[in-house]
Structure 1
Amino acid sequence: MSLTVQDVIRVLPRSSGPEGSTVDGLITGNLNQKVQGVAVSFTASHETIEKAAQLGANLFITHEGVFYEHHGSRAEKELKNPVILRKKEQIKSHQMILYRYHDGPHQAVPDIITHGLLQALDWDTYQYSHLKYACLVTLPEPLSVQQIVQHLKDRLDLPYVRFAGDSEQKCSEIALTAGYRGGSNIALPLFTEQRIDLLIAGEGPEWETPEYVQDAVNQGSPQSQILIGHAASEEPGMKAVAQQIRDHFPDLPVYFIPTSQVLKVL
């Protein structure tokens, strides 16, 4: 069966925002082009684009922006940056069709990206509930922050995480937030209204929630935050997107391409 880009894209949950408010959509190519194979990744980096081309995929679905910012609105002079120009040439040489898929999975109910993280941690067998920007999980028995850190490293294959709070604190009520949702506007209501012990987030401003939990610890009310990294928190959800496409089109080659660890600790 011959499939077009439109055929593939229409099976994915769409953004529910007002017209023109979403960053989702085609970056290169057109909806009527034939699809030979699909690559899905957290980001369309030089490395992941090359891998997609090697696998024979010509439709690349990326969660994050291609040219290093969220809204895809760089000024024309910025697009003449030599790194950007070489990347555009790479995309053109491989005749890669790029589709940004960010808002749709986050606005699905439940959030596909957050639920993917829950499943990757093997916590979907526990009591949990989804809020708009977080997933609340109750562990069957309390674990220390240190034990939870080790679980995160093992399940997500992480070389390191960052944390603020008390590493010996026993936690049973946990909130998961994927991506850039570790800031105080999301975190503080989770701590105060949902009474969580621990927030596991991708990333967030270092001077907001980490400072809050450190003050809480120093006041004798232990609370903690673990930052696992933006990509690490969202890759499981994009892997779920790849599986969704695979389920709809079992004869179409569909590949999930993980990203390498960009930020390293020296």
Structure 2
Amino acid sequence: MSLTVQEVMDVLPLASGPEGSTVDGLITGNMKQKVQGVAVSFVASHETIEKAAQLGANLFITHEGVFYEHHGSRAEEQEINDPVILRKKEQIKSHQMILYRYHDGPHQAVPDIITHGLLQALDWDTYQHSHLKYACLVTLPEPLSVQQIVQHLKDRLDLPYVRFAGDSEQKCCEIALTSGYRGGGNIALPLFTEQRIDLLIAGEGPEWETPEYVQDAVSQGSPQSQILIGHAASEEPGMKAVAQQIRDHFPDLPVYFIPASPVIKVL
């Protein structure tokens, strides 16, 4: 099968908006290049790039930035005298890897591909649910304690640990799922007050916003809780769904989802 980068990306929902409003697009290579294989990952780390090269993939679709900034243009467009960045650029060049940043497109899709992927990974897509712009609301068929939900998250997402604020014995039915960096008060507080959720499950967010809010709620006798599962853990299922979408369109094209190793550990 002879496909170009453009033909592969055309089967995915791409970011919309005025020019310069998205971080999505090519970091290396060009859209007319032929694709030998596709690697999809949450992040194009040194490790995942090496795995992609070993698998024979030359198109790497990454959700997050390659050079340690969300917008990433500084290291991508300028010569930065940083040994880690320079060695990574050399690694990419040596493998002739085509890198495509795919962040805003899946988040702008309806429903949000990344959040919906998390919903499916938790096996909650058969429950009553609805998608908002920045969250998915889920109604469990029967109340579960925060502790029971934590165990379910660990089992389904293969997590060694999570962090939570609130009451571990609180019974929950109404849950909001958010992915990535959406655990802050600007998103969380309206979900608690307007959507009447019991629990927010997020990737990450400021530690002094939503956790303080739910702790005050507990102190006031109205338990609410937040579980933080980690940015990568919340978004990897969605990128796995992106890989499957490409695979469904091009069954003869080698397409690999490459999970990223956890980078933050507990000592």
TM bin, normalised by shorter chain, reads over 0.9
Cα distance per residue 1:43-72 (max 9 Å; x no partner): 000000000000000000000000000012
Cα distance per residue 1:112-152 (max 9 Å; x no partner): 00000000000001000000000000000000000000000
For the residues of structure 2 that align with 1:219 and 1:79, how far apart are their CA atoms?
A: 51
For the residues of structure 1 that align with 2:20 and 2:10, how far apart are their CA atoms?
A: 18
The equivalent residue for 2:9 is: 9
Structure 1 stretch 61-70 or stretch 17-26: which is displaced more? 17-26
**Do the aligned partners of residues 77 and 58 (structure 1) sit closer, same or farther apart at CA in structure 2, a change above 3 Å counting?**
closer
Deviation of 1:77 (Å): 7.0
For the residues of structure 2 that align with 1:27 and 1:80, how far apart are their CA atoms?
A: 19
Deviation of 1:24 (Å): 0.3
Q: TM-score, normalised by structure 2?
A: 0.98
Cα distance per residue 1:83-102 (max 9 Å; x no partner): 00000000000000000000
Cα distance per residue 1:161-199 (max 9 Å; x no partner): 000000000000000000000000000000000000000
Aligned CA RMSD, in angstroms, stands at 1.0
Cα distance per residue 1:185-233 (max 9 Å; x no partner): 0000000000000000000000000000000000100000000000000
**Do the aligned partners of residues 136 and 60 (structure 1) sit closer, same or farther apart at CA in structure 2, a change above 3 Å counting?**
same
Structure 1 stretch 196-205 or stretch 66-75: which is displaced more? 66-75
Q: TM-score, normalised by structure 1?
A: 0.99
Corresponding position: 1:71 with 2:71: yes
**Do the aligned partners of residues 77 and 111 (structure 1) sit closer, same or farther apart at CA in structure 2, a change above 3 Å counting?**
closer
Structure 1 stretch 77-86 or stretch 249-258: which is displaced more? 77-86
For the residues of structure 2 that align with 1:173 and 1:80, how far apart are their CA atoms?
A: 50
The equivalent residue for 2:147 is: 146
Deviation of 1:8 (Å): 0.3
For the residues of structure 2 that align with 1:73 and 1:5, how far apart are their CA atoms?
A: 21
Structure 2 residue runs without a partner (length 5+): none
For the residues of structure 2 that align with 1:77 and 1:4, how far apart are their CA atoms?
A: 27
Deviation of 1:73 (Å): 2.5
Deviation of 1:19 (Å): 1.8
Secondary structure at 2:3 match in 1:
coil
Deviation of 1:78 (Å): 7.3
Sequence identity (%): 92
Number of residue-to-residue matches in the alignment: 266
Deviation of 1:80 (Å): 1.8
**Do the aligned partners of residues 235 and 35 (structure 1) sit closer, same or farther apart at CA in structure 2, a change above 3 Å counting?**
same
Secondary structure at 1:255 match in 2:
strand
Structure 1 residue runs without a partner (length 5+): none
For the residues of structure 2 that align with 1:33 and 1:79, how far apart are their CA atoms?
A: 27
Secondary structure at 1:74 match in 2:
helix
For the residues of structure 2 that align with 1:15 and 1:93, how far apart are their CA atoms?
A: 29
Secondary structure at 2:100 match in 1:
strand
For the residues of structure 2 that align with 1:226 and 1:82, how far apart are their CA atoms?
A: 36
Deviation of 1:17 (Å): 2.0
For the residues of structure 2 that align with 1:19 and 1:148, how far apart are their CA atoms?
A: 42
Secondary structure at 1:79 match in 2:
coil
